[in-house]
Amino acid sequence: MSGASPVTVLPTGTANLASVHAALRRLGAEPRAPAAPAEVRDAERLVLPGVGTFAAAMERLAERGWAEPLRARLAAGRPTLAVCLGLQLLAEGSEESPGVAGLAVVPGTATRFDADLPVPHLGWNRIEPEPECRLLEGAHVYFAHSFRLTTAPPGWRAAWCDYGGRFVAALERGALLACQFHPELSSAAGLALLDRWLRAAGGASC
């Protein structure tokens, strides 16, 4: 690639940004924080990472004036990657934080894994994409989460994983990609997925 391709990464305050930044840089992209809320809506490519609690992440988005521009961006289908908690933030809410509204881009509520399962679901597990998926491929990827979606919203293509029952491992729609797992921690398979998303979002890797 000639020159670094910019990718806006939201510093939600609940994410391990170092690993996200490192993975993007390995693919020839240049991560940066938004300079103003309007950039959240208008950036060429944007990543919404998340590790931590649903309520804390939503509070950060609201405090920084990012929530509404992010909703507008997602409604317009602008290239966006949501990671781990980032996927759950797209929902209407989460059992983790009762009464806290999510971005409500997709219907449903993130629910906790059944009580008889070790939580969090931590480590490597296999995902299986639906045949119509363009970005997602079958692979072993790295998870670290206690809550999940169990149904795929209309209009989205899904990849599925099993941990005490089937749950949504990832969603895609055009250049929108939301992963319950961590592609930045998923070795070659994760980097390959990030590369495909960058290309779909208009940025080829090296």
Return the active site residues: 84, 182, 184
Is the link from the previous residue into 131 a cis peptide, with omega within 30 of 0?
no
Residues with Cβ < 8 Å from 35, sequence gap 6 or more?
A: none
Contacts 24+ apart (CB under 8 A), 60-63: 60/12, 60/13, 60/14, 61/10, 61/12, 61/89, 61/103
What is the H or E stretch that residue 133 is in?
A: none
Please calculate the CA angle 115-129-71 and round it to the nearest 5 degrees: 80
Question: Can you name the residues that pair with 125 across neighbouring β-strands?
Answer: 141
Contact 7, 33 (CB under 8 A): no
